Structure 1
């Protein structure tokens, strides 16, 4: 990848070096010197002879020694020429600070293209542009100019300098944790998110990866790499741009499209990424995952010195999907032996004053609880750390003893402890001792619960890791020869979509249940076809130029005799021509009316960041109003398809209501998987839409099928959909 030369650079040229303290070209050199960077530092400025005692060079190409990376602190318009100069020197990487590129519009995109061309010609890897820089804490390689960034085991990737500053400040003031690397990804013009992930996965000092993302250019490659990375290292991510205004802001800042939040969140979680929606939970989640073992059985215990906090914690954790099981009877007896008679010992455990004169009892209780084989982790909530402040100074020593014991407990038992303390802001020594052992402490009960929740979420993911898709397509492997002919015929006829009859036939080739439809071109043919079908029929216009048949008044239902059918045929054709005068009318489709059932929709589209995605939800004419749908990045597994059903608000309908028999969820899951298979089989498909699908108590019926094709010149899989 060439990232080692950039992120572990052994020599740095500062292009735009300055003697002005407010300039980045000054701040970077000052920080490199102050923090003891051992590599060579080369200031570059044709107007200066030396800066801070270092000889200054008129250009990078005049530097006598080798240069691994250049920090480019000059205006955007100068960057192509600077990179040409770097290329002459053999520089391997560049960090481009300037704004004014792809994030600003047409002219900026043209300039960014010029920059990429110069870098590509000389094999220079780029961070940015529009970046705050990068820091390698291990090597004191600080190209940001930010002093006192704490060192630790978390890699930080963001598309916002302000978010980076927020997270670094939080680590400095509220934690013992810090960072191995910080990279301001910026516009992601060259080095992409997935490349950084691969680098940090291989870095032995990085235990967790913390990300703030506005948009990414190769989302599918990112998912594929994240799938590999999260097997060994957790990734915590905050994705902005969920609202319309948020997307506009993200676009103006990074020049990358902020994708649909429904798609992005589901995709990230399927890759094992811990998605955070509240910014104040972002660093705590990363801190917790880098410090503690994941909870393997999704079961935790709560230890409290008051019922209120215990109840709130239990409710919050339940909402997060964490189980709070009753403790083993043996465990309960041991707790009863050391706690007052009024103590609650089932789970949550309330000490009922049992720690008031001896807070070291917390450690005794913790040891007993973590010995329970059904418990994977422990959340302590309430006053711990404040007994020496609230009651008597003499109790502080007991709290410190308890902190030592609980800290060692995490390592010996390989089970997590997270602490919520009302006295966190007072910074008692006992809480600092817990942090020394890697036990996170928070003043917010919600944040503490979230941290237990992410440990359980990561543990659940690791348990099911091999059952999750790796986001890689095997393009064309399951295509049917007859299916290829259908698509080729559409292209040969200049059509951008399959006829409904063709779409249904394609589904039939892949084993999906479709109605026995007949395409006719006259009223008489329609009447004869209807007569051969048992029961009432439906007529629908067939035109490559009319995708939404109802809008063109091109559908007639429940026709029971020849007279009705002939009249309906004439009306449909007339309405279609009135709707669009030049529409090509291929005929009318005669279909049997299907039995009543639950109407659902299944559809696919190409997402800008992640490639093909699939949607499932409540269907019919109100689908766009009700919006009871869920999304997944393709391809999917059977387990994922089953989860899609349960995620919609309307899913209880499928189980039968008011004494009704349940509907055929197995057939529905099979159809969702068939759609996934067809997208993988035919990369020519741009969009697929089944609406409605009628789900019966036994089986289902595809009432309407629409398949839109890509332009023929774009029939190779999109970059977002390609495998790594």
Structure 2
């Protein structure tokens, strides 16, 4: 961390958490947040605060922070905005190290809210206390199993960290990513950033060894020049993937009313992101696609892509996608064509893309893939049609099972596991990324594939974009 960055460990590594506004009402966030903390198996001590309750979730409830028998590292505040300054004062008086202000009704609402927010920050800084928010959906930290979040979700632990200037988008990415099998190390919904800025979170995550990739949903910044300097430093250690919102006039207006963000000029942001060496995602969910690519794939050393598909049409679309993304689809070396001649029927495409002509022989497919992978003028591969869903062949398997003949209905799962293992081994052997594309939406199969550390994308366009962004990052590292 830089000299100007504070230590945020009381927020992400707290030994104790208190919740001001804890509730026995399941329709209130004081109940849901406490449920999330307990359900995720938080490793520290938990102190619910409410003067009108005795027990919540079988935990003793304290009337105030002063009654808690120890100093508290982190306090969650779920109370009306006008009462928050007095709760911050109470936290300072009791030597609380950090607080998350869930409540809205501050700068995003206008002049009076801005005044209230300023008062709150002044009290916190005078007492040396860190402040997340206000107007936030909370934080998550896998290292201490802390899920201090508003929505009832339990993220999957992993190596991706996410900073989001939108609580809704951030928590939805946590939930959606976890369902896909993507694990998260840390998350913060930064809210109005009255005290801690996006840049401070970035610098803290940069030093966190469990955060291998950093995602940022960005609406606005106050320090554009420092942003470039910070990301430049971080990208030498780990990739920073950004989705920039509020790029239109309407979006900029929405951002200001949403979290008081300073949207600024789109062109300036585009230039800053490019200059910093960050990777810009074209869609919100595209951040997750890029994250798993950077987590599990070796960086391509060049932009030359070999394409292996189950059918000719997908080869055409893959070639288009690669070229439009700035990648090259070079001809195969003569020795590679000769080797594949021994594997495929004589009417195969005899070039790049390699058309498997509908061949379902699961022994020939990996041999063909390796023939392309070891070619010296190929830097990366796209493999389409290798991972199948349970729907493929389901009618035939149903009949064969009824007749007690042929392969079992588990054939798809077992062969998928084998081909994924082949891809992982080939990537380790040749140090070239293999991006696989599948049309299945079967969450079970996709999750199993990802847990084998092989990304599987639903479109060829996504596969090409991921490879292009990874190549761009690799070039920036060389610079």
Q: TM-score scaled by structure 1?
A: 0.61
| Structure 2 counterparts to residues 523-602 of structure 1, below 5 A | none
CA distance in 2, matches of 1:387, 1:371: 31
* Range that drifts further, 449-458 or 393-402: 393-402
CA distance in 2, matches of 1:11, 1:398: 47
1:64 aligns with 2:69: yes
1:460 aligns with 2:475: yes
> What is the match of residue 441 of structure 2?
425
- Contact 2:173–2:285 (Cα < 8 Å) also in 1: no
How far apart are residue 15 of structure 1 and its match? Answer: 0.8
- Contact 1:385–1:428 (Cα < 8 Å) also in 2: no
How far apart are residue 398 of structure 1 and its match? Answer: 4.2
| Alignment match of 2:422 (pick from 405, 417, 421) | 405
1:370 aligns with 2:376: no
| Structure 2 counterparts to residues 311-390 of structure 1, below 5 A | 311-353=316-358, 355-356=359-360, 358-382=361-385, 384-386=387-389, 389-390=392-393
Instruction: Tell me the SS of whatever aligns to 2:362.
Output: coil
> What is the match of residue 36 of structure 1?
41
How far apart are residue 432 of structure 1 and its match? Answer: 5.0
Deviations 1:539-566 (A, max 9, x none): xxxxxxxxxxxxxxxxxxxxxxxxxxxx
| Structure 2 counterparts to residues 370-519 of structure 1, below 5 A | 370-382=373-385, 384-386=387-389, 389-390=392-393, 394=407, 396=412, 397-422=414-439, 424-426=440-442, 429=445, 433-464=448-479
1:149 aligns with 2:165: no
Give the direction of change, closer, same or farther, for the CA distance of 1:265–1:59 in structure 2 (3 Å limit). Answer: same
- Contact 1:298–1:459 (Cα < 8 Å) also in 2: no
How far apart are residue 387 of structure 1 and its match? Answer: 9.3
How far apart are residue 350 of structure 1 and its match? Answer: 1.5
CA distance in 1, matches of 2:453, 2:298: 11
Deviations 1:566-587 (A, max 9, x none): xxxxxxxxxxxxxxxxxxxxxx
> What is the match of residue 308 of structure 1?
313
How far apart are residue 124 of structure 1 and its match? Answer: 0.8
- Contact 1:304–1:310 (Cα < 8 Å) also in 2: yes
CA distance in 2, matches of 1:118, 1:241: 31
CA distance in 1, matches of 2:332, 2:363: 21
How far apart are residue 235 of structure 1 and its match? Answer: 1.4
CA distance in 2, matches of 1:179, 1:384: 25
Give the direction of change, closer, same or farther, for the CA distance of 1:135–1:326 in structure 2 (3 Å limit). Answer: same
Instruction: Tell me the SS of whatever aligns to 2:10.
Output: helix
Q: Please, which runs of 5 or more residues in structure 2 have no aligned partner?
A: 1-5, 398-406
- Contact 1:126–1:191 (Cα < 8 Å) also in 2: yes
CA distance in 2, matches of 1:417, 1:307: 19
| Alignment match of 1:123 (pick from 120, 128, 131) | 128
CA distance in 2, matches of 1:387, 1:28: 38
> What is the match of residue 639 of structure 1?
none
How far apart are residue 324 of structure 1 and its match? Answer: 1.9
How far apart are residue 143 of structure 1 and its match? Answer: 0.8
Give the direction of change, closer, same or farther, for the CA distance of 1:10–1:412 in structure 2 (3 Å limit). Answer: farther
> What is the match of residue 183 of structure 2?
178
Which has the higher relative contact order, 1 or 2, with Cα contacts under 8 A spaced 6 or more apart? 2
Aligned residues between the structures: 459
Give the direction of change, closer, same or farther, for the CA distance of 1:133–1:399 in structure 2 (3 Å limit). Answer: closer
Larger radius of gyration: 1
Question: What's the C-alpha RMSD, in Å, of the aligned pairs?
Answer: 2.0
CA distance in 2, matches of 1:85, 1:199: 27
Instruction: Tell me the SS of whatever aligns to 2:117.
Output: helix
CA distance in 1, matches of 2:29, 2:442: 37
CA distance in 2, matches of 1:93, 1:193: 17
CA distance in 2, matches of 1:34, 1:434: 27
> What is the match of residue 218 of structure 1?
223
| Alignment match of 2:259 (pick from 254, 258, 277) | 254
Give the direction of change, closer, same or farther, for the CA distance of 1:168–1:227 in structure 2 (3 Å limit). Answer: same
| Alignment match of 2:17 (pick from 9, 12, 16) | 12
CA distance in 2, matches of 1:387, 1:140: 34
> What is the match of residue 236 of structure 2?
231
- Contact 1:360–1:402 (Cα < 8 Å) also in 2: no
Instruction: Tell me the SS of whatever aligns to 2:176.
Output: helix
Deviations 1:131-171 (A, max 9, x none): 00001123111110533322211101111122123212321
How far apart are residue 427 of structure 1 and its match? Answer: 5.2
Deviations 1:629-664 (A, max 9, x none): xxxxxxxxxxxxxxxxxxxxxxxxxxxxxxxxxxxx
CA distance in 1, matches of 2:322, 2:264: 29
How far apart are residue 383 of structure 1 and its match? Answer: 5.8
| Alignment match of 1:245 (pick from 225, 245, 250) | 250
Deviations 1:683-705 (A, max 9, x none): xxxxxxxxxxxxxxxxxxxxxxx
- Contact 1:223–1:267 (Cα < 8 Å) also in 2: yes
CA distance in 1, matches of 2:450, 2:294: 13
Instruction: Tell me the SS of whatever aligns to 2:378.
Output: coil
| Alignment match of 1:166 (pick from 167, 172, 177) | 172
